[in-house]
């Protein structure tokens, strides 16, 4: 067969024009809006217009289903606190919404973006492509320089509490372990690892259903009682809305301003009395050091509604006085074990007290879910800051000596037990073995004397050292510092909004999934990661999101019910006039 030459080089699909090659090298793969990007590099445009193209089977476009929930939860309230970024291709509205979509899709940090197609993600956002990790970190730094995260968080918490008409606040500490070397952080007890490790202590304030309001970060190693007294209670009184008016509190002397619920860590009847007498704040917590048992015949069975399921509880109430402070004590009988709960709330029924106290597990579920799904404990910024030089902390040297004293006392206790055993054996044994026992006793007594002298020496040394020390008086090699938390706080707020948005969506699905909270959340996550068609209609100002079918008809039916409500909300996509219109593929097949 004769081969005929055409006189020109063959054309292969991999050959691209010079403009595309330049764009991929300078701007990134997937970039198509070349002119706008070069104008942004030259700082010649204010913002980049959102422009959707008709796209089929866009991976992860199901995340658009959560946009109405994000808006309702308050994602775009950041406009009240943050100003626009410097001129560039990506503006602040895009960055905030992009972060929310990232977290909802379980892209837990900017570094994970390299495993996702920027162009495909851009189809969801109305741009040609989304930023890479380096660009996103730069934008985050520019946002966080404004130092507005704390006030944004407080304003959101105020809005959420006002909508929920909440009067019960759940308070719990959460430790984020630090494994770096730049900062010198105090050690905290990490209950999930049963170790004392350096880290940051956060104190979270949530509602009964585990929905977060705000959190306060400890400076070094403050206890919950100290944080409540100095920071949390003042923040609740000053920043959060009160359900009851001053007139209602005046008319009913037993009515609390609000009630706080926490575990045994903050157990102090004297402090509870102070909260009531000074602020009219009630507490519900577990009682410590319960040694007596109540007659099981006095317990009555109650039916409690927990997450739509009826649970039986055997409860009994008695008045009790702890450290001269009158309180109510409620006990729950379960498999022979009596769990004691105490409260200064005089208005709640025995059933409601038990229900509120035993709902604390929702906070543990919140922390667990956020760690697993949102990489909650990841420290996103490693800038070290100095602590106020006059801030007082536990003296590390004092703590070290206390630890050594405890170890010596353990040895003394063992020697005393050994000596007692030798004396008992000597009494019960033959007289012929008395000399042998006496020699052993003399040896143990000598050891005991050495240990007691050592204990006395350590005690005298500790008495010469203050238990508290100011940061400025600490040696440089152990002087505490802290991490800059602004970036983490900003991203935590967005994660809190995402969690609340997910929960709102899951609650709408609840009529179809009554038995399992996890089942509802699993459907929401499946929906978020679903593919969908994104079809803009600029003549009628509509953006149609056609979500692909789920694994079974039950899920599809549940989504159809929610879609009807979302379409009635007529949510507008940020930066456009397009009203979101949701569909599901299965509805078109009928």
> Residue 337's domain is classified under what CATH number?
3.90.350.10
Asked whether residue 518 is domain-assigned, the answer is yes
Asked whether residue 232 is domain-assigned, the answer is yes
Asked whether residue 207 is domain-assigned, the answer is yes
**Same-domain status, 217 and 299:** yes
How confident is the model over 141-162, as pLDDT tens digits? 999 999 999 999 999 999 999 9
The single-letter DSSP state of residue 574 is: T
Q: Which of 259-273, 405-419, 443-457, 503-517 is least confident? A: 503-517
**Same-domain status, 258 and 407:** no
Query: For residue 87, what are the CA distances in angstroms to 36, 84, 199, 379?
Result: 12, 9, 37, 28
Of 469, 499, 520, the domain-final residue: 469
How many folded domains does the chain comprise? 3
**Same-domain status, 295 and 362:** yes
Give the pLDDT confidence score for residue 588 in this predicted structure.
53
**Same-domain status, 367 and 308:** yes
Residue 242, domain extent: 150-374
Question: In this model, does residue 345 exceed pLDDT 80?
Answer: yes
Rounded mean pLDDT, 403-422: 92
Asked whether residue 5 is domain-assigned, the answer is no
**Same-domain status, 363 and 255:** yes
What number of other Cβ atoms are within 10 A of residue 512's Cβ?
A: 16
| Rounded CA separation 96/102 (Å) | 10
How confident is the model over 207-253, as pLDDT tens digits? 988 899 999 998 887 888 889 999 999 999 999 999 999 999 999 99
**Same-domain status, 210 and 77:** no
Of 328, 344, 374, the domain-final residue: 374
How confident is the model over 111-148, as pLDDT tens digits? 888 889 888 999 999 998 899 888 899 999 999 999 99
**Same-domain status, 228 and 344:** yes
**Same-domain status, 277 and 417:** no
**Same-domain status, 237 and 360:** yes
* pTM of the predicted model as reported, rounded to 2 decimal places: 0.85
Question: In this model, does residue 309 exceed pLDDT 70?
Answer: no
Q: Is 280 exposed, middle or buried (0-12, 13-18, 19+ CB in 10 A)?
A: middle
Asked whether residue 529 is domain-assigned, the answer is yes
Q: Which of 11-25, 266-280, 490-504 is least confident? A: 11-25
**Same-domain status, 545 and 447:** no
| Rounded CA separation 405/460 (Å) | 11
Question: Smallest Cα–Cα separation from 332: which of 360, 362, 353?
Answer: 353
Asked whether residue 277 is domain-assigned, the answer is yes
Give the pLDDT confidence score for residue 85 in this predicted structure.
86
Question: In this model, does residue 20 exceed pLDDT 80?
Answer: no
**Same-domain status, 163 and 311:** yes
Question: Smallest Cα–Cα separation from 294: which of 322, 261, 240, 333?
Answer: 333
Asked whether residue 1 is domain-assigned, the answer is no
């Amino acid at each position: 067969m004769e081969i005929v030459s055409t006189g020109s080089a063959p054309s292969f699909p991999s050959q691209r024009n010079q403009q595309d090659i330049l764009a991929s090298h300078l701007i990134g793969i997937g970039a198509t809006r070349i002119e706008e990007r070069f104008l942004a590099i030259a700082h010649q445009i204010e913002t980049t217009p959102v422009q959707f193209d008709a796209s089929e089977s866009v991976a992860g476009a199901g995340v658009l289903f959560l946009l109405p929930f994000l808006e309702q939860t308050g994602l775009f309230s950041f406009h009240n606190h943050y100003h626009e970024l410097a001129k560039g291709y990506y503006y602040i509205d895009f960055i905030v919404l992009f972060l929310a979509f990232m977290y909802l899709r379980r892209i837990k940090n900017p570094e994970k973006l390299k495993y996702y197609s920027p162009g495909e993600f851009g189809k969801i956002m109305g741009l040609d492509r989304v930023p890479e990790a380096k660009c996103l970190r730069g934008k985050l730094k520019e946002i966080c320089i404004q130092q507005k995260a704390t006030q944004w968080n407080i304003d959101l918490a105020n809005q959420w509490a006002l909508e929920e008409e909440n009067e019960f606040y759940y308070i719990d500490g959460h430790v984020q372990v630090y494994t770096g070397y730049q900062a010198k952080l105090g050690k905290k007890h990490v209950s999930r690892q049963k170790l004392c490790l350096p880290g940051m202590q956060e104190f979270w304030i949530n509602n009964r259903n585990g929905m977060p309001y705000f959190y306060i970060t400890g400076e070094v190693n403050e206890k919950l009682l100290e944080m409540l007294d100095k920071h949390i209670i003042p923040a609740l009184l000053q920043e959060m809305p009160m359900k009851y008016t001053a007139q209602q509190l005046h008319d009913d002397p037993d009515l609390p301003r609000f009630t706080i619920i926490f575990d045994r860590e903050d157990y102090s009847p004297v402090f509870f009395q102070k909260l009531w007498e000074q602020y009219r704040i009630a507490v519900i917590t577990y009682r410590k050091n319960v040694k007596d048992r109540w007659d099981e015949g006095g317990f009555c069975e109650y039916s409690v509604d927990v997450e739509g399921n009826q649970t039986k509880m055997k409860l009994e109430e008695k008045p009790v006085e702890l450290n001269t402070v009158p309180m109510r004590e409620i006990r729950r009988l379960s498999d022979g074990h009596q769990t004691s709960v105490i409260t200064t709330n005089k208005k709640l029924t025995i059933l409601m007290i038990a229900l509120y106290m035993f709902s604390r597990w929702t906070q543990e579920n919140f922390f667990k879910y956020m760690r697993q799904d949102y990489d909650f404990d990841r420290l996103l910024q490693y800038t070290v800051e100095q602590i106020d030089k006059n801030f007082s902390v536990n003296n590390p040297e004092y703590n070290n000596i206390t630890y050594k004293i405890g170890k010596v006392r353990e040895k003394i206790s063992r020697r005393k037990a050994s000596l007692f055993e030798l004396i008992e054996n000597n009494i019960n044994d033959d007289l012929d073995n008395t000399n042998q026992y006496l020699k052993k006793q003399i040896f143990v007594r000598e050891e005991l004397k050495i240990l007691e002298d050592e204990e006395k020496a350590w005690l005298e040394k500790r008495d010469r050292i203050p238990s508290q020390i100011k940061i400025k008086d600490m040696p440089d090699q152990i002087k505490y510092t802290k991490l800059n938390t602004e970036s983490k706080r900003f991203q935590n707020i967005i994660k809190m909004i995402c969690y609340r948005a997910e929960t709102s969506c899951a609650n709408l699905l609840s009529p179809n999934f009554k038995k399992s909270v996890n089942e509802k959340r699993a459907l929401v996550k499946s929906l978020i990661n679903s593919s969908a068609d994104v079809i803009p209609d600029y003549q009628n100002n509509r953006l149609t999101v056609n979500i692909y079918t789920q694994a079974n008809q039950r899920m599809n039916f549940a989504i159809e019910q929610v879609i009807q409500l979302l379409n009635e909300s007529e949510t507008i996509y940020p930066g456009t006039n397009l009203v979101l219109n949701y569909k599901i593929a299965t509805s078109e097949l009928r």
